[in-house]
Chains A and B, each alone.
Chain A
Amino acid sequence: MREKSVERTRLQRCFQDLRARKRCAFSVFLTAGDPSLSCSQRLLESLEGVDLIEIGMPFSDPVADGETIQRSSARALAHGTGLHDVFRIAQALRKKKPATPIVLMGYANPVYRFSIASFAEQASASGVDGVILVDLPPEEDAACRIALAEKNIALVRLATPTSDEERLKTICADAKGFLYVVSVAGTTGKKQADERQLQALAQSLRKHTELPLVAGFGVRDKEQVAHVARHFDGVVVGSAFVAEVAESASCDEAVRRVHQRLQELQQGLPIGLQ
């Protein structure tokens, strides 16, 4: 699966193509193993018209997540979902969707326990394009960043409303793939930023990086999608989909509900650009 460095990565192709079409990337986050391994795989494979897919690696102590994703992680862990399962799901998804970037998102400890080198190896073999570890700030990310870069995988850094100019310089210095913009100071799926704040955040970030800016944390309706899409290169919705999965009585229902929610939220993307 390794690409030559002269070739564009899947992430670069994705964002360049969308930029050429003046479109904002729509990204979906779902937790691996929730509600079951087979159903989460089916859910991910059923996503239509999604430009970038984020697969959550469940962790026992997700301090950056709100209740919805906390409970989702707990459900996945209750039947023993581990990184091997995450890689199996990613690999199957890669076969179904050869061009869609796949990003794994989670916390550092399971990766360290797995061993950073093996993690990079397996992620590469599974066709993963990027990794987000929310508790691994630039101060601590060198080992992971370098190991992943050797496999042509981007360790995606986060920027937040608390990042001042100095901090943004640090974050952007070695950022790869895209910048994951935490749109509100809070946990996932709780607060919402207003459009003025989003615009200001995007503007200050663009001074520091050419990388695509993808905003998440607190985007759950089509109005919010529209606000983000006007200022960012991508928008991530997680908790809203995870909540649909949680409320479903069967996998069929979960697939149906996620599909409906996806269609509804994608209406928020600017008209004429879809």
Chain B
Amino acid sequence: MSEIVSQSVSESVSESVSLSSSSLPRSLPRSLPRSSPPLPERANSLPNQEGRFGAFGGRYMPETLMPLVLDLEAAWRAANDDARYWQEIEHFSRHYIGRPSPLYFAERLTEHLGGAKIYFKRDELNHTGAHKINNCLGQILLAKRMGKQRIVAETGAGQHGVATASVCARFGLPCVVYMGAKDMERQSPNVYRMRLLGSKVVSCASGSASLKDAMNEALRDWVSNVEDSYYLIGSVAGPHPYPEMVRDLQAVIGRETRTQLWEAEGRLPDLLVACVGGGSNALGLFHPFLDESHVRMLGVEAAGKGTQTSQHAATLTKGSPGILHGSMSYVLQDAHGQIQEAHSISAGLDYPGVGPEHAFLKDSGRVEYASATDEQALDAFHLCAKLEGIIPALEPSHALAAVVARAPAMPKDALLVVNLCGRGDKDIFTVARARGETIDDKG
């Protein structure tokens, strides 16, 4: 899994990137806000042995699950050190998922915006239609190694659920997917896909009936089925080692991007953009570049109806440090430490927590986090469909909204890569509803 990048990469990088947002410091790594902790020597060495990314991360789990979490960590370490494990992943990545995904020059969008050269990392072309399957493949192979007999998962948009259901079918393990009742309604095509793939989909009606509640139920299932079940978490969230493991399984996105952009342009990108719910597609893209201080990164959260309202999912922008689902990170919470409900038109971003490494990267200043509203995401969705002939999922439409805002003010020779982490087939009903239209059998 060595990174194929020349030593002289940084020499050829343009230093003169400017962004429309005044909130993005000009030379990020060298002029960190004085209140931020210094960047680590090697960002790639995190988390530490306790699963900490600075103050964030850890293992805040009920004791019943602690031995399982520790077992998983040991199994992950062993697999990680085993070349055969990674060979297996490479084999299935190529022949089952369809990797590498293309790095596509979005020429018409670039022309339209008139600034930076925009590339799409096409992870929506993966089997099952999103980046989620990269992680599911790695974890199902680990579950098989551990001799687990049953898979439990949570899902928001249903992309992780479909990817989990697919690998469970492929590797012959029964699968139960927990999904919020509200998400089952707005992502009904994915519910049916999971069922077609042989998985059981269980509706969660409590709380906001979305991803947070699905994760609660998946944890309750795991705590009640400790003998044989493997909990296949879909994002860089949860207790250690999940944030590290999911990140490392998604880092193929960033590694491919390095190679592909090097081939196309002979240098590294100036700005990476990805949406952040739990944050796995963003870390997958960002992580292999973290040590290159001149590569700027922008994570885009869902601002829902606006961060000035209570209906958003902008955890890093508006939240505060807290403990949810096994780790210390930023969470949306009230004055009493009760977790608040998130809101986003995109089911995959509708989560009041975020992966702990993002919390660390925010506080260290290495990555900038912004947000896009439902409306901005919808506009970007339509723009991408019309100009590039690609219907993106509503999740990366948030990243595209940030590209629309930032790219025009960047120089024409600046290189911008946005992770198109999912395709929009699942979202057509939601988009139609937002336009006041309905889709019936006659089309």
A binds B: yes
Spell out A's residues near B (CB within 8 Å).
Answer: 59-64, 66, 70, 74, 77, 80, 82-83, 107-114, 134-137, 139-140, 157-164, 167, 171, 182, 185-187, 190-191
Let me know if B63 and A137 touch, CB within 8 A: yes
- Min C-beta distance of B18 to chain A, whole Å: 39
Give the docked Cα–Cα distance between A109 and B331 (Å): 10
Residue contact B58 to A139, C-beta cutoff 8 Å: yes
Contact indicator A64/B337 (Cβ below 8 Å):
no
Is there contact, CB below 8 Å, between A137 and B323? no
CA distance A54 to B112 in the complex (A): 64
**Which B residues are in CB contact (< 8 Å) with A186?**
64, 223-224
B40 beta carbon closer than 8 Å to chain A: no
Contact B338 A185 (CB under 8 A): no
Of all chain A residues, the one with the shortest Cβ separation from B218 is A63
Tell whether, in the assembled complex, residue B60 and residue A136 are in contact, meaning their CB atoms are under 8 Å apart: yes
B294–chain A nearest beta-carbon distance, Å: 37
The answer to whether residues A63 and B58 also contact, given A77-B338, A109-B324 and a CB cut-off of 8 A, is: no
CB-based contact A162/B68 at 8 Å? yes
Contacts of A159 in B (CB 8 A): 63
Smallest CB gap from A190: residue in B: B224
Chain B residues, CB < 8 A from A83: 336
Name the B residues within 8 Å of A164 (CB-CB). Answer: 67
Asked whether any CB of chain A lies closer than 8 Å to the CB of B387, the reply is no
Q: Do B323 and A167 touch (CB < 8 A)?
A: no
Chain A min CB distance to B220 (Å): 5
Q: Work out how many contacts link A and B, with CB atoms closer than 8 A.
A: 115
- Within 8 Å by CB of A185, from B60, B70, B216, B226, lies B226
Cβ-based interface call for B405 (8 A): no
B50 CB-CB contact with A under 8 Å: yes
**Known contacts A60-B207, A74-B206, A139-B58; is-contact A110 B337 (Cβ 8 Å):** yes
With both chains docked as a complex, state the minimum distance between the C-beta of B68 and any C-beta of chain A, in angstroms: 7
CB distance from A25 to the nearest CB of B (A): 21
Known contacts A60-B340, A61-B212, A112-B321, then 5 further A-B pairs from the complex at CB < 8 Å, ordered by chain A residue: A62-B216, A63-B223, A66-B220, A82-B335, A157-B63
Contact B226 A162 (CB under 8 A): yes
**Nearest CB of chain A from residue B348's CB, rounded to whole Å:** 19
Main secondary structure of the interface of A (DSSP, over half): loop
Residues of B within 8 A of A64 (CB): 62, 64, 220, 223
- Give the contacting residue for B60; candidates A66, A70, A80, A135; CB below 8 A: A135
Q: Is the CB of A135 within 8 A of B62?
A: yes
A64 vs B226: C-alpha distance when bound (angstroms)? 13
CB of A63 within 8 A of CB of B66, answer no
28 contacts between A and B (CB under 8 A): A61-B216, A61-B325, A61-B339, A63-B220, A64-B223, A70-B206, A82-B335, A107-B323, A110-B337, A111-B337, A113-B335, A135-B323, A135-B326, A137-B59, A137-B61, A157-B63, A158-B63, A160-B63, A162-B67, A163-B63, A167-B66, A171-B63, A182-B64, A185-B64, A186-B64, A186-B224, A187-B220, A191-B224
Q: How far is the CA of A61 from the CA of B206 in the complex (A)?
A: 10
Contacts of B220 in A (CB 8 A): 63-64, 66, 187
Bound complex: CA A61 to CA B50 (Å):
24
CB contacts (< 8 Å) of A160 on chain B: these are 62-64
* Dominant secondary structure at the B interface: mixed
Measured in the bound complex, the distance between the Cα atoms of B66 and A159 in whole Å is 10
Assembled-state Cα–Cα distance A86/B216 (Å): 24
**Quick one: which of B62, B66, B325, B337 contacts A112, CB cutoff 8 A?**
B337
Partner of A113, one of B64, B70, B336: B336
Interface centre among B60, B227, B335 (most CB of A within 10 A): B60
- Interface pair A187/B63, CB less than 8 Å apart: no
Max chain B Cβ within 10 angstroms of own Cβ: one of A159, A161, A187, A190:
A187
CB of B413 to closest CB in A, whole Å: 47
Interface contact B337-A139, CB-CB below 8 Å: no
B333 within 8 A of A: yes
Q: Is the CB of B322 within 8 A of A63?
A: no
Closest B-chain residue to A137, C-beta based? B66
Whether A139 lies near B64 (C-beta < 8 A) is no
The CB with the most chain A CB atoms within 10 A, among B65, B66, B219, B224, is that of B66
B44-78 interface mask toward A, CB cutoff 8 Å, 1 = contact, 0 = none? 00000010000000111111111110100000000
Determine the distance from Cα of A111 to Cα of B323 in the docked complex, in whole angstroms. 10
- Whether A61 contacts B58 in the complex (CB less than 8 A), given A109-B333, A113-B333, A160-B64, comes out as no
Q: Is B336 a contact of A110 with CB atoms below 8 Å? A: yes
Query: Which residue, of B64, B67, B227, has the highest number of chain A Cβ atoms within 10 A?
Result: B64
The residues in B between 312 and 370 inclusive whose CB is less than 8 angstroms from any CB of A are 321-326, 331, 333, 335-340
Give bound CA distance, A186 to B222, whole Å: 8
> Per-position contact with A for B183-220: 1 when CB-CB < 8 Å, else 0?
00000000000000000000000110000100010011
Min Cβ gap A78→B in Å is 11
B224 touches which of A158, A171, A187 (Cβ 8 Å): A187
Are A135 and B61 CB-contacts (below 8 A) given A61-B216, A113-B333, A187-B220? yes
Residues of B within 8 A of A109 (CB): 322-324, 331, 333, 337, 339
Q: Is the CB of B64 within 8 A of A114?
A: no
- Decide if A185 touches B224 in the complex (CB within 8 Å): yes
Q: How far is the CA of A164 from the CA of B226 in the complex (A)?
A: 13
Closest 4 CB pairs of A and B: A113-B337, A110-B337, A186-B224, A158-B63
Neighbouring A residues of B212 by C-beta, 8 Å = 61
Q: How far is the CA of A158 from the CA of B63 in the complex (A)?
A: 6
Complex: chain A residue closest to B337, CB-CB: A113
Residues of B within 8 A of A114 (CB): 336-337
Of listed A66, A134, A159, residue having the most chain B CB within 10 A? A134
Residue in chain B with minimal CB distance to A74: B206
Contacting residues of chain B (294-313) with chain A, CB-CB under 8 angstroms? none
B156 to chain A, nearest CB (A): 15
List B contacts of A190 (CB < 8 A). Answer: 224
